[in-house]
Amino acid sequence: MRRIRAWALGLLCLWGCAYREPEAGVALRQALQLPYYRGKLYPEVLHQWRQRDLVFEQVRFRGRDHQWVAGLACYSELARTRPLPALLCIPGSANRKEELLQPLNLLPRWADQGFFVLSVDRFPDESALLERKGLAGIWGEQVHNLVRTLDYLEGRPEVVEGRIGMLGLSLGGMEALWLGAVDRRVKVVVSVAGHLSWAEVFGGEAWRLIFADLPLGRRLRGAGASGEEAWGAFCQTYPQLPELDAGRVAAGLAPRPLLLMTGSRDPVTPPAATRRVFEEARPAFAASGGASRLEMWVEPGIGHGFSYPMQDRALEWFQRWL
C-alpha cells in the first residue's frame, strides 16, 4: 500500500499537477502566497556517517523555484527494518540546522528515543525578496519549503507513514503553526517562543525586537512610533498580516495535539502572547473534542530560549501523541 501511495504521489509530481491538501486554510495559503504546484524532489544524500547505532546524513532536495533545500537527518539503524515516526525540527531565523546538532545535541538525543529527526535550513536571501514578495511572501517561501520537506519525509523508507510531528523554535515556532494549519500531514506540533499574536506584539514592545532588522521597523522606531501607530503602518504595508495571527492560525490545528511553550522572561514572545494564543485556540479544540490536546507551558526564569526542561517536556509531548 505504501509503495502504491508513493508511486501515485511521484506521478503527480512528475506531471506537475496541483496536489491539494484537504481542509487547508485557503485564506492562510493566499496570505503566504503558497502554490499548490510541486515539482520533483530529486533527493540526494551528500554525506553519511555513524556514531554508535545512529546514522547521520547531510541531505538535500528541491524546494520552491527548484532551489536546493539542505537538511540534516539523524536516525537509528533499526529504522531500516522498522520505520520510525518523524520529527521535523526548525531553528530560529538567526540559527542554522547544525545548531540542533551542536551545541543543543537535540538530533541525536531524540533519535535515541526512537524518532527519525530532520532539520532543514531556511530559505536563503530573504532580504532580496522583501520588496518583490512582501513580508508574508518571505515567510511563505519557508513554509513552502517545509511542505516540500514533508514530501521528502514521506518518501523516506525509514519513516512510518502518517506519523510526522514538528518542533519549531522562535520564528520556527510560528512556522510550525503555519505549516500545521495548511498541511494536515503534520500530526503533532510543539511551538516554542514563536507566537505572533499581533495584539500582544504591537500592544507592547515586542514589535521593536521582532522587526528590528526590517526597514519599516527601523523607520518606525526612529520616528518614535507607538505600538498602535506601528500596527497601522504594518497593516498598510503588509495587508496579509491579520491572516497570519498566531491565535487564528493555532485554532486551525484542532484537534491535532499542540503544545505552546515560552519562557517567563522572554521579551520576544512574552507569556501574555502565548496565553492569548492558547485562549483563542481553546474553543476550536474544545468544539472538536480535543481539549486535552492543547496545552501551554511557561518555563520559569527563561528568556528567549529552549532550556533542557523545555526540551524534555517537548519530547514527552511527542512521545505521548505521536
Domains of the chain, start order: 2-40+81-100+131-197+245-321 (3.40.50.1820)
Task: Judge whether residue 15 has pLDDT over 60.
Answer: no
pLDDT at 26: 87
Task: Judge whether residue 7 has pLDDT over 50.
Answer: no
Q: What is the SS3 assignment for the chain? A: CHHHHHHHHHHHHHHCCECCCCCCCHHHHHHHCCCCECCCCCCEEEEEEEECCEEEEEEEEECHHHCEEEEEEEEEHHHHCCCEEEEEEECCCCCCHHHHCCCCCHHHHHHCCCCEEEEECCCCCHHHHHHHHHHHHHHHHHHHHHHHHHHHHHHCCCEEEEEEEEEEECHHHHHHHHHHHHCCCEEEEEEECCCCCHHHHCCCCHHHHHCCCCHHHHHHHHCCCCHHHHHHHHHHHCCCHHHHCHHHHHHCCCCCCEEEEEECCCCCCCHHHHHHHHHHHHHHHHHCCCHHHEEEEEECCCCCCCCHHHHHHHHHHHHHHC
To the nearest whole percent, how much of the chain has pLDDT over 90? 77
Task: Judge whether residue 191 has pLDDT over 80.
Answer: yes
Instruction: Note the pLDDT tens digit of each residue in 105-154.
Output: 899 999 999 999 999 988 665 666 777 778 898 899 999 999 999 999 99
Task: Judge whether residue 1 has pLDDT over 90.
Answer: no
Task: Judge whether residue 27 has pLDDT over 60.
Answer: yes
